[in-house]
Copies of this chain bind each other. A is one copy, B any other.
Amino acid sequence: MKDTRSRATGRPTLAHVAALAGVSQITTSRALRSVPTVAPELVERVRAAAKALSYVPNPAARTLASARSQSILVLVPALSNHLFIETLEAIQAVFRPRGFEMLIGNYHYDSYEEEELIRNYLSHQPCGILLTGFKRSAVAADLLATSGVPRVQMMDLGGDTASVCVGFSQGSAGRAVADHLLSRGRRKLAFVGAQLDDRVMQRRAGFQQAIADAGFSQAVDILTPEPSSVDLGVTLFKRLLAECPQTDGVFFCNDDLAFGACFEALRKGISIPQRLSVVGFNDLPGASQMVPRLTTVQTPRASIGRQAAINLLKLLDGETLDTERVDLGFELVVRESS
């Protein structure tokens, strides 16, 4: 009966593995972390010993000794939006196989909560941080900068922070929608927007620019500062039909607006693919299954997550990607109902 487990945790420790492999603790440590200076033969022996004992490293000890954990902090504004879930999945697909853990911080679109989360999670000494967007409190920005932990920002490309960003351009999304509609022969194009924040206006600008570049002009703008919703989509769609009945292509700046419109069209028996092309931004969950032919411009969530993760890995490896901005474009997805 050999003593191969720690009294405190009941699990074998590095010392046990080292003893079994017949090398020093530090060599064991290095071998297990794939530090290149260890002789291949020793690596072999150590691996075998670790396996024999079912050794699993103690992350707390590792973090304490190295002042750096194997965790990546990911801050998202919401979990209720599918967009971020898919982004998280893509991130995890990069990090999990490499032995990193993900700490997920949901700040509910609240910058004070974001600040608190940062303060809390920073105490865990994450080795990297993935952030969503630019806007955050000065305190939060300062905490991040002071921490010195490598970080990558996702989704937005704009802003003034001198750091690595992975996202897409709202303007080119708008442009693509216009090109798509024009290529299908649509000429009476409308833009329907709510909320009217920067992003919406950038999408609109790209949309208009592309129409102008093609030598046409946009037929109509239906705009309102109200927050976007399915109901509002119905209302604005009615307004569109009233004000500009000859419209044959619409870009709804938000998914729920587009959905409300499609739904209303369905009710009224308006055949959307034939009389009208509708494009929405992002994809309301389930919408694709319910509404006949809704074209959708999707934020490239998975690509953004994956690329952001990959760039963060590069930073962790010591590469310098200063102020790199990666524009991943977007995807035009044509959905069809049953």
286-338 of chain A: CB within 8 A of chain B = 286-287, 289-290, 338
**B285–A56 CB distance below 8 A:** no
| Contact of A184 with B by CB under 8 A | no
Q: Give the contacts of A51-89 with B (CB-CB under 8 A).
A: 56-61, 63-64, 67, 69, 79-80, 82, 85, 88-89
- Interface residues as binary, A116-136 with B (CB distance below 8 Å gives 1, 0 otherwise): 000110011100000000000
A286 touches B259 (CB 8 A): yes
A285 CB contacts on chain B under 8 angstroms: 285-286
Kindly state the separation between the CA atoms of A286 and B260 in the bound complex, as whole angstroms. 11
| A179 contacts the other chain (CB 8 A) | no
Query: Could you tell me which residues of chain A, from 198 to 257, have a CB within 8 Å of some CB in chain B?
Result: 230-231, 234, 256
Q: Using Cβ atoms and an 8 Å threshold, which residues of chain B touch A259? A: 286, 290
Question: How far does the alpha carbon of A123 sit from the alpha carbon of B64 in the complex, in Å?
Answer: 15
Q: How many residues of A contact B (CB 8 A)?
A: 44
User: In the complex, which of the residues B9, B57, B88, B104 contacts A125, with contact meaning CB atoms closer than 8 Å?
Assistant: B9
Number of copies: 2
- Residues in B with CB closer than 8 Å to A85 are 79-80, 85
- The verdict on A281 contacting chain B, using a C-beta distance below 8 Å, is no
Which of B104, B123, B234, B289 makes the CB contact (< 8 A) with A104? B104
Are the C-beta atoms of A80 and B82 separated by less than 8 Å?
yes
Least CB distance, A190 to chain B, in whole angstroms: 21
Q: How far is the CA of A84 from the CA of B45 in the complex (A)?
A: 44
Write the nearest CB–CB distance from A331 to chain B, whole angstroms.
Answer: 18
A38 at the interface (CB under 8 A from B): no
Assess the A230–B267 pair: CB atoms within 8 A: no
Contacts of A123 on B, CB cut-off 8 Å? 56-59
- The residue that A230 contacts in the complex, of B56, B104, B289, with Cβ under 8 A, is B289
Docked complex Cα distance between A289 and B228 (Å): 13
Q: Is A141 an interface residue (CB 8 A)?
A: no
Bound-state CA distance A20–B285 (Å) is 55
Residues on B with beta carbons closer than 8 Å to the beta carbon of A144: none
Write out the residue numbers on chain B whose beta carbons fall within 8 Å of the beta carbon of A61: 60, 64
Residue positions of A touching B, CB distance < 8 A: 8-9, 56-61, 63-64, 67, 69, 79-80, 82, 85, 88-89, 92, 101, 103-104, 106, 119-120, 123-125, 230-231, 234, 256, 259-260, 263, 266-267, 284-287, 289-290, 338
